[in-house]
Amino acid sequence: MQDKPYFCPNCRANRVRFKTIRREAQIIQKDAFDGNIVSQGEPEAFTTIQGDTEVQCLSCNFVGYENMFIKMAEREPRYR
């Protein structure tokens, strides 16, 4: 997650309330017959790939990559 301002590109009304969504990868082995998990590795978070973090706008519920929100905030910065 980047320490930069967000601006929702969809509703263009929210710069404050967001939810970040992180995906995790985990290697598992399943039993082919009953579907039970036979073994599983440690979960790996995908946080190292820039732009992989997804953000949800809590105003309009739009979900997009973090970069979209950052680009929008850079294009239309908030003036104090």
Torsion-angle region of residue 21: left (phi > 0), alpha (psi -120 to 50) or beta? beta
Q: Find the shortest distance in angstroms from Cβ 77 to Zn ion.
A: 17
Q: What number of residues does the chain have? A: 80
Q: Which stretch binds Zn ion (CB under 5 A): 17-25, 40-48, 49-57, 63-71?
A: 49-57
DSSP code of 20? Answer: E
- In angstroms, give the least distance from the CB of 79 to Zn ion: 20
Query: Residue 57 or residue 68: which is nearer to Zn ion going by CB?
Result: 57
Which stretches within 1-80 are classed as H helix? Answer: 66-75
Which spans of this chain sit near Zn ion (rule: CB under 5 A)? 8, 10-11, 14, 57, 59-60, 62
